Structure 1
Amino acid sequence: MNTPHLPQPDTTAFPDLTRLIRPGDTVMWGQANAEPLTLIQALVNQRHALGRLRVFLGIGQSDLLRPEQADAIDFLAYCGSGTNRALAQAGVLDILPVHYSQFPRLIEQRMLRIDVLMLQVSPPDALGRYSLGLAREYLLPALRSARVILAEVDPSVPWTYGGPYLQASDFALMIPSSLTSVSAPASAPGPLETAIGRHVAGFIEDGATLQTGIGNIPDAVLAQLRDRRELGVHSGAIGDGIATLAQAGVITNSCKGIDVGVSVGGVLIGSDTVRRYAHLNDALELRGTDYTHSPHVLGKLDRFVAINSAIEVDLGGQVNSEVAGDRYVGGVGGILDFLRAAQSSRGGVPIIALPSTAGNRSRIVASLSGPVTVPRSDGCVIITEHGVADLRGLSLAQRVNRLIAVAAPEHREALERQARSR
C-alpha cells in the first residue's frame, strides 16, 4: 500500500480542539480510507496544548502520525499495518492483541475506554442525514459510549447504507475537510499472486459467500472469479475487487441465506472504484463488528469461504499473522473469527494464502518466529504459488509432507532436515 505524502496546510485553518479534548483522553477514528485527516492534523498540531493523550489506531494510511509525536501521544493499535509500521519500528506503538469480534464488548464495557470519537462522514442526503461513509465496524460502540463526537465532512466520501444516520446536532463539532482524502488503489497482481489466486479460486463454487482481506492476493483471487455465478459477500473489508465483480453481475448475494441481495462489510478500502460503487448503493451495507464478525451471524452462512493471509506457517499448521522478524507488522484481527466460521459452515473452506518466500526466507517454516495467531487445532487450507496443502483431518505427521510440498523448492530440503531432527 502506497503511503500518500500530504501537503502541510496553514495550521490556522484547523479547529481549536482544546475545549473538547481533555488531558488523559483516549481518541479513536476510522482506519485506512476512513481517517478524518483534517481532525487528525489538528490534534497533532495542538498535542502539546491538549496534554498527554492516547489514540487508538486501525490500519494507518496517511503519513500524519510520526514517531516524534510520542512526546505527547501514546499510540495504541490492534495492528502494525500500513503507516503504523514506522511507529512500531520506532518502538512507540503499543499493541492490543485481541480478536476483532471482541472490540464491541471491550468498548461498550469501557475496558477499552474511548472518550473522543473523530468521524469522517459523507455530505448529508436530502433528509439531512450524514452517513458514516467508508467505515462502521468498531466505530459504532464508540459512537454510543464516547463523551465527545467530532465530525469531518468530506465531499469525496460516499453516502452508504447500514446506519446509523446522524444529524448535525449529534456532533460537538462539525467541520469541512481541508485535506485530500486518501485512496488506496491496489497494484496489478503479478505472476506469483496470480498463481496463488488460481489455486484459491479452485475452492470457490457458484453460490459461495466470500470473506477476503485486502491487498494483491485477495484481488488476484477475485480476478479469477469472473466466470462464477451468484456469489455473496460477508467480509470485514470490501475493496476494488469486490466492487468490480458486483458491477459485472458475478456477486448477487442471492444464495447467502441471510442478507439476501446485499453485500455486507465493515470498512471500504480501495480507490475511487469502490467509492463510486458504494455511493447510494442499497445492495451494499456497512455494519458494525458485532455483526460482521459475530459467530451467531457467521454461523448462518453456508458455503462460507474465508480467505486470509499470514506471515508464516509452521510444519504443524500453526499460523503467525502478527510478527515478521522482530517487528509487529500484522495483527490478530478477524482471521480466527472468520476461519472458524468457515470451518463450521456447511461447504465452507478456511484458507490461508501466502507467498512461499519473503526475500530469501521461507514462509513455510519448521518453527514460527512469532506468536501463534491460529493454532494447529484450527487446521486450514494453506495455499502458496506452488500448490495447496489441505490440512483438514490430517495428523501432524501427514501435515509435514503436505506443507513442504507447497514451500519454495530451494527451501524444501532444509525443511525436511529440520522436520526429521524434530
Structure 2
Amino acid sequence: MTPADSTGAEPDLARYIRPHDMVVWGQASAEPRTLTGLLLAQRARIGRLRCFVGIPAESALTLETSDGLDIHSYCGSGTNAALHAAGRLDVVPVHYSALPRLLTDGPLRADVVLVQVSPPDGTGRHSLGLADDYFSAALDTARVVIAEINDQVPFTPGARTLGTGDWTAAIRTSRTPGRLPAGRVTEQTRAVARRVAGLIQDGATLQFGIGALPEAVLGELGDRRDLGIHSGILNDTAMRLIEEGTVTGARKSADRGIAVAGLLSGTEPLFRAAHRNPRVRLHATAYTHDPEVLAASHQLAAVNSAIEVDLTGQVNAETAGGRYVGAVGGAVDFLRGAARSPGGLPIVALPSTARGRSRIVARLDGPVSTPRSEPLIVVTEHGVADLRGLSVAARVERMLAIADPAHRPGLEAAAEAIPAAA
C-alpha cells in the first residue's frame, strides 16, 4: 500500500476496513491525518463506521466530514464540542486509566487502528513518536493496523516501536503533525497560576493537563530547581523548562532524570526537541496513570482544571452551559495519586468567574466529575482552599473565601440551605 498507485488513485481503505468496524487512532498531534483524511473521504464507499477519538488538534474529523459515522470519545474538547452538540458524538464518561481496557475488550473494542509512526531507526523499528498513550494497547488486539510513516515525527525514547511485521499496510508521508498551541492566558488566569505555583516546591514532580491554565502554571515555575515531570501530556512550555534546566528530574522516585508522559502535543519546537532526547520518555497509559507509580512519586503536584466547583468540593470538569466541552479524563487518577504521594498536592485550579458568572457554585450545573470524597486543594485567584480532612461546614467556609467577592453574598445565602450532613 502506497500513498497512490501507478494511476494516481488513492489507496483503497475498503480493502482492509469493513462496514461497522470500530476504528481508533492517536489523538492530538499523534493523529495520522493523511490516513484519517483518506478514511473520511472514502467513508461512503466503505459503509457506516464506528470511531473512537480523543483530543483533536487540526483534526481531519470535523462536523462536515462526520456524517455516516458513529463517533465516540472520552472528551468534548476542541471541535469535539461541536460534534457532540450536533448529535454526532457520544461521550463515554470514564477515567483515563480505563481507556486501554475499553478499546481492547468490550463494546468499544477496536477492529482497526490507524497509527502515525516515525521513520525507522538502524534496526528497522519505527517509534510511535508523539503518543504511546491509551490507544497503543489496541495495537495488540485489533484485526487491522495501518501505519502512516511520517518523516516529521520524532523518534522518541521509551515510546513503543513497531516493525513492518506489526502492521497490515502502510503509507509514507511528510507533513507537520497536528499542532495544539497554548491557549490565550488572561491576567485572571495568570493570577490563578501564580497561586498554584506558590504551592509547588523545589524537587516536586509535576502532572498537568491541557489548556491555558496548566501552561500558565508551568510558566510561573522558572525559578524552581530540580522539578520532575510524570504527566499524561508533555507540551511546549514543559519542554522549555527541561531545556532551561528547571526540570531535571533529579529528585524523582522513579525515572530519575527523565520527564515521563504518554502524549506529546504542541508545536514544531516540541516535536524537534523530543527527537532522540534522552531526557524525555513516552509510556503507555498503563504506566503514566498507574496508581502505585503515582503514589510512590516524590511530591507529586497534580494540577488539574475544572469548569465549576461547588461549596462542598464537588467538581464538574465536563459540561458548561449544557454543552459537553471537557472530560472526566485523568483528573481523578492523578488527584488520588497525589493525595497518596509523600508531600503531594492534589490541586484543582480555576478562575473564580467566567463571563460574569461565579465558577464557585452552591450547586453544580453539570455532572460530578470528581466527588468531594477525593482529597482536594481548590485554587482560584482569590486564594487556596485546602479541603483535605474537613467537614462539610468547614469546606463551605473555605470555598466561600476563594470565591469572587462580588458573588460571595449570594453564595453565603445559598450556603445556609446546605445542611451540615449534606
TM-score range, shorter chain: over 0.9
What do residues 93-145 of structure 1 show as CA deviations (whole Å, max 9, x unaligned)? 10111111112223333443101000111122222221101001112211111
Question: Which residue, 299, 302, 308 being the options, matches 2:304?
Answer: 308
Q: How does 1:11-410 map to 2 (within 5 A)?
A: 14-177=10-173, 180-187=176-183, 189-410=185-406
List runs of 5+ in structure 2 lacking aligned partners.
Answer: 1-7
Report % sequence identity.
53
Contact between 1:38 and 1:178, CA under 8 Å: does it hold in 2? no
Structure 1 residue 383, shift from structure 2 partner: 0.7
Q: Distance in 2 between matches of 1:69 and 1:272?
A: 26
Over 3 Å counting, the alpha-carbon distance change for 1:269 and 1:305 in structure 2 is same
Contact between 1:317 and 1:379, CA under 8 Å: does it hold in 2? no
Contact between 1:193 and 1:217, CA under 8 Å: does it hold in 2? yes
Matched to 2:166, the amino acid is D
Matched to 1:210, the amino acid is L
Matched to 1:240, the amino acid is D
Q: Distance in 2 between matches of 1:97 and 1:90?
A: 18
Q: CA RMSD in A?
A: 1.6
Q: Distance in 1 between matches of 2:101 and 2:41?
A: 32
TM-score (norm 2): 0.94
Over 3 Å counting, the alpha-carbon distance change for 1:71 and 1:13 in structure 2 is same
Matched to 1:315, the amino acid is L
List runs of 5+ in structure 1 lacking aligned partners.
Answer: 1-11
What do residues 231-272 of structure 1 show as CA deviations (whole Å, max 9, x unaligned)? 111000110111011001111111111111111100011112
| Moved beyond 4 Å, runs of 4+ | none
Structure 1 residue 68, shift from structure 2 partner: 4.9
Contact between 2:29 and 2:264, CA under 8 Å: does it hold in 1? yes
Contact between 1:266 and 1:287, CA under 8 Å: does it hold in 2? yes
Structure 1 residue 168, shift from structure 2 partner: 2.4
Structure 1 residue 385, shift from structure 2 partner: 1.4
Q: Distance in 1 between matches of 2:62 and 2:244?
A: 41
Contact between 1:33 and 1:182, CA under 8 Å: does it hold in 2? yes
SS across alignment from 1:277: helix
Contact between 1:14 and 1:38, CA under 8 Å: does it hold in 2? no
Over 3 Å counting, the alpha-carbon distance change for 1:357 and 1:168 in structure 2 is same
SS across alignment from 2:281: strand
Matched to 2:337, the amino acid is A
Matched to 1:226, the amino acid is G
TM-score (norm 1): 0.94
Contact between 2:300 and 2:344, CA under 8 Å: does it hold in 1? yes
SS across alignment from 2:162: coil
Structure 1 residue 189, shift from structure 2 partner: 2.8
Q: Distance in 2 between matches of 1:16 and 1:136?
A: 27
Q: How many residues align?
A: 412
Q: Distance in 2 between matches of 1:269 and 1:119?
A: 15
